[in-house]
Structure 1
């Protein structure tokens, strides 16, 4: 039996899917894709002969049944997830359900939207002299969040909030417990999609900007001094820094 391939589609730009992911889509006999989160341009890789299902219209049991039936028929089956499957991709429950049924699976990583957002802004999350830590989290809504955002804000690390644009006021209120009001923030909507929009402002004004611009979904919130782009030079490339591949200059 062939494995079910759980493929990360990347952030939206069809050129940002991995080479392996694109190849598997071309070879697939059956594709179940997250239609509410993946632009139709990515489906250009799928063969016209392949069976194509939009999981926005399906529940968990229906998705698993399609994948299982395809695998047992010895078809090449792809579950196409947005971004990277390991981040808010319902990966754990899908792998568990497939394993219960004796269906092998393979996960193919994708470029996450938080990486695409940093690329668009030309910023480095782990900026020397500023922070070497990045926090990926979300605001509690219908899905509970075990971690306390107010406590996380005390670290003043680079931070990226997923699935939180509609809760901007709650996010800002919690983050101001640790970050100063003038901390740089960015609201990145549909990154790498044709309709991408990016707004930058002080953290204290973020909720106002989100409300004014009508940003309520498919957007990331970035917070931290890394957005200034001002940090210490890297030691690794300092001409006076020695390491196993290069002797530093005296």
Structure 2
């Protein structure tokens, strides 16, 4: 019986992939791994490659980050997955982090549910939770709020004490300037959490010049 698994594979550390995710991957006929890059590199796929059975069909689909050609590429991926489900296959769509946190999977889920396909979503460890563990930093405590927002919305922070800034790439200076202006003097930049090339920075100038696609900032007020 066909089913689509939406699998969160965590931040990129293969040891942070859940047992449930591994079981679904091993049970899959087809693995679909998204890539934001034309060269076909998929962090999600590399994270779980050793758990994939030899008989499993593995396909990388390009999901562009910009608007150019995005609709066409996304439709191609959806059509491919839909065809495999119609053939009665078990398909797993991999996503870095958690499927419901800033993920392309959210749109795929809606598309497939509208067509009455069976879907099961498997949670993954988010990059900011992994980063907090790596730097041994409290994300939130007591009755405080934790605000998670993309870098483009950093100016919307009001009276929060704990914040997570996602999608920092190419917005480093804007983010740090805004945080300091709003009283966040305690912040840490983490890129490639749990992966080769992991980088942890607290110096403003070094953060501004880091420029890594897989990066975020954890910040709090004293």
Q: TM-score, normalised by structure 2?
A: 0.85
Report if the CA contact (8 A) 1:8-1:84 is conserved.
Answer: yes
The reply to whether residue 61 of structure 1 matches residue 75 of structure 2 is yes
Q: 2-side partners of 1:113 and 1:57: how far apart?
A: 20
**RCO (CA 8 Å, sep 6+): is it higher in 1 or 2?**
2
Query: What is the deviation of 1:211?
Result: 3.6
Across the aligned residues of Structure 1 and Structure 2, the Cα RMSD in angstroms comes to 2.0
Query: What is the deviation of 1:102?
Result: 2.3
Q: 1-side partners of 2:132 and 2:45: how far apart?
A: 20
The aligned counterpart of 2:216 is 220
How many residues end up aligned between the 2 structures?
208
Return the index of the structure with the highest Cα Rg: 1
Report if the CA contact (8 A) 2:34-2:63 is conserved.
Answer: no
Query: What is the deviation of 1:57?
Result: 6.2
The aligned counterpart of 1:135 is 147
The aligned counterpart of 1:17 is 17
Which blocks of at least 5 consecutive residues in structure 2 are unaligned? 36-41, 65-72
Report if the CA contact (8 A) 2:183-2:221 is conserved.
Answer: no
Query: What is the deviation of 1:41?
Result: 4.1
Which blocks of at least 5 consecutive residues in structure 1 are unaligned? 141-147, 227-250
Query: What is the deviation of 1:34?
Result: 2.6
Q: 1-side partners of 2:44 and 2:105: how far apart?
A: 16
With over 3 angstroms needed to count, the CA separation of the structure-2 counterparts of 1:56 and 1:98, relative to structure 1, is same
Q: 1-side partners of 2:63 and 2:161: how far apart?
A: 38
The reply to whether residue 98 of structure 1 matches residue 112 of structure 2 is yes
Which of the two has greater strand per residue? 2
The reply to whether residue 162 of structure 1 matches residue 166 of structure 2 is yes
Q: 2-side partners of 1:33 and 1:119: how far apart?
A: 26
Report if the CA contact (8 A) 2:2-2:87 is conserved.
Answer: no
Give the alignment of 1:113-192 within 5 angstroms: 113-128=127-142, 132-140=144-152, 148-152=153-157, 154-180=158-184, 183-192=185-194
The aligned counterpart of 2:70 is none
The aligned counterpart of 1:143 is none
The reply to whether residue 37 of structure 1 matches residue 43 of structure 2 is yes
Report if the CA contact (8 A) 2:146-2:160 is conserved.
Answer: no
Query: What is the deviation of 1:110?
Result: 0.3
Q: 2-side partners of 1:151 and 1:6: how far apart?
A: 31
Report if the CA contact (8 A) 1:150-1:177 is conserved.
Answer: no
Q: TM-score, normalised by structure 1?
A: 0.76
